[in-house]
Amino acid sequence: MNKQTIKDVDWQGRKALVRVDFNVPQDKATGAITDDARIRAALPTIQYLLDHGAAVILMSHLGRPKDGPDPRYSMKVTADHLATLISAPVKFVGQTTGPDAEAAAVTLRPGEVLVLENTRFDKRETKNDPGMSQELARLGDVYVNDAFGSAHRAHASTEGVAHYLPAVAGFLMEKELTYLGKALEDPERPFVAILGGAKISDKIGVISNLLKMVDAILIGGGMANTFLAAQGYDMAKSLVEAESLETARQLIEQGGDIIQLPVDLVAAEKFAADAPFKVVPVNEVPAEWMALDIGPATIAHFSNRLAGAKTVVWNGPMGVFEFPEFAKGTVAIAEMLASLKQATTIIGGGDSAAAVRVAGLEDAMSHVSTGGGASLEFLEGIELPGVAALNSK
């Protein structure tokens, strides 16, 4: 990684303006945080800054507020939770920029933390408005981006502010770029990619880019249905992207033996957790039924291809893992990766990260990314705006 990090800065008596990714899942009824993994992922950066004499100002978005401030998405809930995870005083201000935010920043002392209000309560954020970027820059001395999950967005708090302050990476950002960067630039082989999830259209660029560098791509999930349909199989009521069939054919032709598809599927009568189901070969999906998971023969086939792998990147579940009966393929692949003690295993954020956590196997992986969309764009070979804006070494 050729970007400066927080270790390249003398923090004594300085204010660190840190973009974190505290966009955590919440209980719809109570607003309580249901998974604090993203907050915990930022703790090493926050603690390092505090230990080295900085006052720490944190900013993030939370949820998708449509019309400005919405109490359901206030960062107050994350500030309160953070206070239970660190020993430093954690303060909160109900503004992102402006007089109240500036006053809170001015009075903040070394060893203290201030959490700003939701950046997306200001509509200028997503427009990367220079005025908002300058107002944010007035709050700190050095900008730190530790929000890999938002680095693919050119927003005021992720890219714009970096033009008005010295800008460096936090430890989480550094870790993400190091693991994903090595996988793409200098992978230990065999290098295997596993791609799943609902849609092929989301991952066309990723597949095209990975075809140049991997030894195998194992495709499951809903996107496998489109590839199978492109080969002429009748997928009945399965999710198939008709507009992507020609692209799938081209990728199969381009990829040859590198692209590996399911040989059997778990087909269900309907899209429901309690739907009747059965395992069928890919050419025998019953009329009016739909494929919701990969079958046991596919699990064995994919596991065989993974057995000797030295680098594995996984993005997207193998089935509808929210339904326990159709999560078996995803869990089996997670267990297979956990058994690869000599391999570097990288889980590409989003649903695959959630699936690995649900399976209780997060600690068995080399790296679980905090950024679904960001890791996808990185794998596609796209330069992320939030990374490009950081100071080079």
Q: What is the DSSP string of 17-34?
A: EEE------B-TTT--BS
Average pLDDT, the chain: 95
- Contact of 81 with 39, CB cutoff 8 Å: yes
Check residue 240 and report its DSSP letter.
-
Last-in-domain residue among 172, 198, 216: 172
Respond yes or no: is residue 329 known to be catalytic.
no
In the three-class reduction of DSSP (H, G, I as helix; E, B as strand; rest coil), residue 248 is classed as: helix
Q: Which domain range does residue 338 map to? A: 179-379
Say how far apart CA 205 and CA 219 lie, in whole Å.
Answer: 14
- Residue 157 domain flag: yes
Tell me how far apart the alpha carbons of residues 60 and 64 are, in angstroms, rounded to a whole number. Answer: 12
| 190, 95: one domain | no
Instruction: State how beta strands 55-59 and 15-19 pair.
Output: parallel
Rounded CA-CA distance 298/111 in Å is 53
In-domain check, residue 269: yes
Indicate if 339 and 261 belong to the same structural domain: yes
Does residue 54 contact residue 15 with C-beta atoms inside 8 Å? yes
Task: Of 165, 375, 209, 195, give the one whose Cα is nearest residue 302.
Answer: 195
- Residue by residue, DSSP assigns 38-98 as HHHHHHHHHHHHHHTT-EEEEE---S--SSS--GGG-THHHHHHHHTT-SS-EEE-S-SSS
Question: What pLDDT was estimated at residue 229?
Answer: 98
Question: Do residues 138 and 206 share a domain?
Answer: no
Sequence-distant (6+) residues with CB within 8 A of 260 are: 216, 217, 218, 219, 301, 302, 305
pLDDT value of position 136: 98
Examine residue 315 and state whether it is found in any structural domain, yes or no.
Answer: yes
pLDDT of residue 198: 87
Per-residue pLDDT of the chain (393 residues; tens, 9 = 90+): 799 999 999 999 999 999 999 999 999 899 999 989 899 999 999 999 999 999 999 999 999 998 889 999 999 999 999 999 999 999 999 999 999 999 999 999 999 999 999 999 999 999 999 999 999 999 999 999 999 999 999 999 999 999 999 999 999 999 999 999 999 899 999 999 999 988 888 888 999 999 999 999 999 999 999 999 999 999 999 999 999 999 999 999 999 999 999 999 999 999 999 999 999 999 999 999 999 999 999 999 999 999 999 999 999 999 999 999 999 999 999 999 999 999 999 998 778 888 898 889 999 999 999 888 888 899 888 999 999 999 999
Which residue out of 3, 15, 19, 38 is catalytically annotated?
Answer: 38
Q: What distance in Å separates the CA atoms of residue 45 and residue 145, rounded to the nearest whole number? A: 10
Look at the chain and report how many structural domains it folds into: 2
**Structure confidence at residue 134 (pLDDT):** 98
Residue 355 lies in a domain: yes
Both 109 and 234 in one domain: the answer is no
What is the chain's length?
A: 393
Same domain, 142 and 280: no
Taking the C-alpha atoms of residue 331 and residue 354, their distance in angstroms, rounded to an integer, is 11
Q: Are residues 347 and 370 in the same domain?
A: yes
Q: What is the pLDDT of residue 202?
A: 83
152 and 112 in a single domain? The answer is: yes
pLDDT for 372 equals 81
Q: Is residue 389 part of a domain?
A: no
- 126 and 262 belong to one structural domain: no
pLDDT of residue 348: 87
Indicate whether 107 belongs to any domain. yes
One domain for residues 197 and 346: yes
| Global pTM value | 0.90
| 390 inside domain | no
Cα dihedral 177/179/185/189 (nearest 10): -170
Annotated catalytic residue, options 160, 350, 372, 386: 350
What separation, in Å, do the N-terminal and C-terminal C-alpha atoms of the chain show? 9
Q: Domain ends where: 148, 172, 196?
A: 172
In a domain? residue 140: yes
Do 163 and 212 lie in a common domain? Answer: no
Same domain, 190 and 161: no
Half-sphere exposure of 145 (CA within 13 A, CB side): 35
Q: How many Å apart are CA 259 and CA 193, to the nearest integer?
A: 10
User: Of 199, 249, 305, 310, which one is the catalytic site residue?
Assistant: 199
- Residue 281's CATH number: 3.40.50.1260
Q: Are residues 101 and 84 in the same domain?
A: yes
Active-site position among 111, 205, 373, 381? 373
Which tens digits make up the pLDDT trace of 378-388? 988 899 999 99
Let me know if 212 is exposed, middle or buried by CB neighbors in 10 A (0-12, 13-18, 19+).
Answer: exposed
Of 172, 191, 208, which residue sits at a domain end? 172
Active site residue 38: yes
How much is the pLDDT for 68?
Answer: 87
